[in-house]
Chain A
Amino acid sequence: MNLTLFLLALFDGIAYAALVFIVAVGLTLIFGVMRILNVAHGSLYAMGAYLTASLTTFVLAAGLPPIFAFPCMLVSAVLIGVVLGGPLEWLLLRRIYHKPEVLQLLVTFAIFMILEDVQRLIWGTQPIFQSAALQLMGNVKVFSVNYTVYQLILLPIVAITLLFGLRFFLRRTVAGKLILATTEDREAAQAIGIDADKVFLLTFIVGAGLAGLGGALASPTTSILPGIGADMIVLSFAVVATAGLGQIEGAALTALMIGLGRSFAVYVWPETQVLVPYLIMVAVLLVRPEGLFGSPSARKI
């Protein structure tokens, strides 16, 4: 493997890891606070991507300059979080917090099935491609490799900002501290006057918004077609499980691990591209069943 290929694989891996992290962090945040694995997270990601592509195409068709592609992404992410995520938590998930874990899984799985078809009804089955944002930012030359600025610089910056932003939000702001307190012990938090329902709603909106943001950012880099949601939920679960459910910083590291593993596999042995993330996950879970950064939970008897 020469330097050019090595750099290409490295950059691919970093760009991919940044995207996966943005989606996975939403998943792990929701799990950490609500103890629910949102299987529909992948659909929210896909819908974020579709919505961005449609909005961007619409805005460009209206004669606005391509720079407006970026506000479109933010708008889509917020829409996904508020318009889709909010009602989901409010109307459905709220009913099932006291039910057995199997039923919680089944409910989010049912939402996933519904949303997969909703996507196809709205956007059809033809692949959609809208790369205005990618082209706008042009290329950068690193050593002998040309790579897009969007993927090499913007995506990692967003991911890192998000990582530190979330840390800051959770540890330094009142809303974040309320979330952490509810995560720690819901009943005790309610006893001192925290509105746990509101905290859950806020968390789910933020988490869903992150899935939408991941999709929005991914939309210029790939063609959007049915099935990307299913791929993404399994992949981001792999990231989150390898890190340990609920671990935000850990998710960043495992996203990088899995992203790099996957991109190097593309150049070395392309057929295994899809397998590598899961092989990494299985290898880690065999040694540490609770994930790299998770701690074994105390058993309640």
Chain B
Amino acid sequence: MSIRIIIPAILLLLLALVPFGAQTLQVLLTLALAKGIAVMGITVLLRSGQVSFGHALYFAIAAYGGAFTLMLMPGADLIVVFLLGVMAAVLSGVLVGLFVARYRFIFFAMLNLAFSMIFWSILEKFYHYTGGADGMRLPRPTVFWIEMERGAYELFMFYLALALAIGLGWFSMRWLESPTGQLFRTLKTNETRLQYLGMSPQRVLMNGYVLSAMLCGTGGILMGLVQGVVTPEYAYWIRSGEMVFIAVLGGAGSVPGALVGAAIYEIVRTYASAFAGDVWQLVLGSFLLIIILFAPGGIAGIYNSLMDRIAGKKEDGE
């Protein structure tokens, strides 16, 4: 087995052991995994050459969907809350997608931003329903109709997030390799050719858009359930920008890169916020510039070239 596969496998194993070895990291990593799943949505879109500055919209819709479910159906089970939240994100992804799939590049990015700003202002203005800037609470639901203590619940959420991250990550990678995904990626390389093949680019983009909305929604509902509260900040452009940043950091278009990027991002942020909290956007922006200008492959790119070098050396030695 090549070293290229062994290292991620070891990392995953270490991650699965975190609750036993480094419990202080557990909640942090749960949030990182949730964010990583959302970032995979951006990553998928990047494979078609599109970037969205408003995907926090689906992140927030799912979380608010979950909060409303818990408000209207007190005692609803985790499964119900989770599924309804994700469904809300997928549904709004279809509705918004029907509109934005007609656009590319600048318009695509900015129209998404506009939609997320609209949703954000709705959340802030209609405070009778949404709680305004204070947001809504998501009381801890039952898990498979079993009441859980806080510790057990957090442990469960960690493994749920881990399982979802692996499952959805695998699914996204398979999807990108599938015929539908190949067509989707053709949007980046040659959209005209796609049309000559008799496909509708809008419909092709739509497929990926709904998938990305689903991924962002899954991340959002997980985040909401773990934090126990959802605020309009979930939909704010800073959140979208953060997701785009992590996607580029992890390696534009690399699904595992999204997860690694999210983990690194969350850990650095937690420990750096003490002395860089005021200038966090500044630090992010500068890093974004550096990555784009000097290391366009991101973490995944660096990892791959490192692995290539190791593999190359071995061949030389033999």
Contact = CB atoms under 8 A, between A and B. Distances in A.
**Co-complex (A, B):** yes
Given A109-B241, A109-B244, A113-B282, A237 B288 contact: no
A104 to B, nearest CB: 9
Contacts of A282: 99
Interface stretch (A13-21, A131-139, A157-165, A273-281): A273-281
Interface in B178-204: 192
Interface residues of A, number: 42
Contacts of A109: 53, 241, 244, 288
Interface string B242-278: 0010001000000000000000000000000000001
Interface stretch (B60-68, B106-114, B149-157): B106-114
B103 interface: yes
A118 B113 contact: no
Nearest to B104: A101
B106 A37 contact: yes
Interface stretch (B31-39, B44-52, B140-148, B211-219): B44-52
B122 A105 contact: no
B110 A117 contact: no
Interface residues of B, number: 41
B158 interface: no
Contacts of A285: 99, 111
A117 B286 CA distance: 11
* Interface residues of chain B: helix, strand, loop or mixed (majority): helix
A234 B117 contact: yes
A106 B292 contact: yes
Interface in A258-300: 271, 274-275, 278, 281-282, 285-286, 289, 299
Contacts of A121: 278-279, 282
B288 A105 contact: no
A114 B99 contact: no
Contact of A102 (B49, B118, B125, B288): B49
Contact of B110 (A111, A237, A289): A237
B121 interface: yes
B237 interface: yes
A110 B289 contact: yes
B105 interface: yes
Contact of B114 (A105, A245, A278): A278
A117 B109 contact: no
A1 interface: no
A110 B288 contact: yes
* Interface residues of chain A: helix, strand, loop or mixed (majority): helix
Contacts of A289: 102-103
A95 interface: yes
B26 to A, nearest CB: 30
A101 B281 CA distance: 23
A73 B129 CA distance: 42
Contact of A113 (B107, B114, B241): B241
B281 A116 contact: yes
B249 to A, nearest CB: 11
Contacts of A112: 285
B10 interface: no
B121 A241 contact: no
Given A110-B288, A230-B237, A241-B107, A117 B282 contact: yes
24 contacts: A39-B53, A100-B49, A102-B51, A103-B292, A105-B51, A107-B289, A107-B292, A109-B53, A110-B285, A110-B292, A113-B241, A114-B286, A118-B282, A120-B278, A121-B278, A121-B279, A121-B282, A230-B237, A234-B114, A237-B110, A271-B125, A275-B118, A278-B117, A285-B111
Interface of A: 31, 37, 39, 92, 95-96, 100-103, 105-107, 109-114, 116-118, 120-121, 230-231, 234, 237-238, 241, 245, 271, 274-275, 278, 281-282, 285-286, 289, 299, 301
Interface of B: 46, 49-51, 53, 99, 102-103, 105-107, 109-111, 113-115, 117-118, 121-122, 125-126, 192, 237, 241, 244, 248, 278-282, 284-286, 288-289, 292-293, 296
